[in-house]
Amino acid sequence: MSEQTLDLNLQEVGAAFSDPVLSSQAVFRAALAALSRPGRIQSVPHDAQQPPGATPAAAALLLALLDPDCTVWLAPRLAGGAVSAWLRFHTGCRIVSQPAAARFAWSDADQLPLLQQFALGSEFEPEISTTCVVQVKALDERCGWRLSGPGIPGRQRLAVAGLGAGFLAQWQANHNLFPRGIDVLLCAGQFLAALARTTAIEA
């Protein structure tokens, strides 16, 4: 890579966390809280500059979770913009072209592939499945789906704006694969909520 090309790329890539250690720890705690209490909305405040097309919560999650050993699949809209360069510069991750080859995926809701196209893990290694970070229009705990399962005392409501009508059927199939299956982190603005593979959803 020439010095001129590197300078151009650096000018286009926004800054990451001002305090990488503390910010990454805070974001990681928010992700763990979301996965341990599916459907509960968590705030993800941070000071990183996200690239065009990225929501603040999704950008923070990928900054905190990725490293050079990680493979990432990007939806076409994100892959074609500044997101790919931003991720590679700040995390050193490898961008892959096939969803099944990725440990992480980043997508807008309207470009999310069928869930079965991602890595689903195996009976002996369920942890090698893909974790999907999905940008949605809005999240609301006051209405919507009825969630149940581990980490959910009683029933938890969650409305998700932007996911396609076929998502629930795909999720049921994913849920039935346990201990295999993917986990999904839903991001709207600076907020996130998780759907763990153990979570059952009723419309």
- Domains of the chain: which residue ranges? 15-202
For the segment 26-53, the average pLDDT, to the nearest whole number, is: 94
For the segment 12-19, the average pLDDT, to the nearest whole number, is: 81
For the segment 80-106, the average pLDDT, to the nearest whole number, is: 94
For 173-190, how does the pLDDT look when each residue is reduced to its tens digit (9 = 90+)? 999 999 999 999 999 999
What is the reported pLDDT for 2? 33
DSSP string, the chain: --HHHHHHHHHHSPP--SSHHHHHHHHHHHHHHHHHSTT--EE------PPTT--HHHHHHHHHH--TT-EEEE-HHHHTTTHHHHHHHHH--EEESSGGG-SEEEEEGGGPPPGGGS----SS-GGGSPEEEEE-SEEEEEEEEEEESTT-SS-EEEEEES--TTHHHHHHHHHHTTTS--EEEEEETTEEEEE-TT-EEE-
pTM recorded for the entire structure: 0.92
Superfamily of structural domain 15-202? Bacterial phosphonate metabolism protein PhnH (3.40.50.11310)
What percent of the chain shows pLDDT beyond 90? 84
The residue whose two tokens read 């009723």 is: 202
What is the reported pLDDT for 1? 37
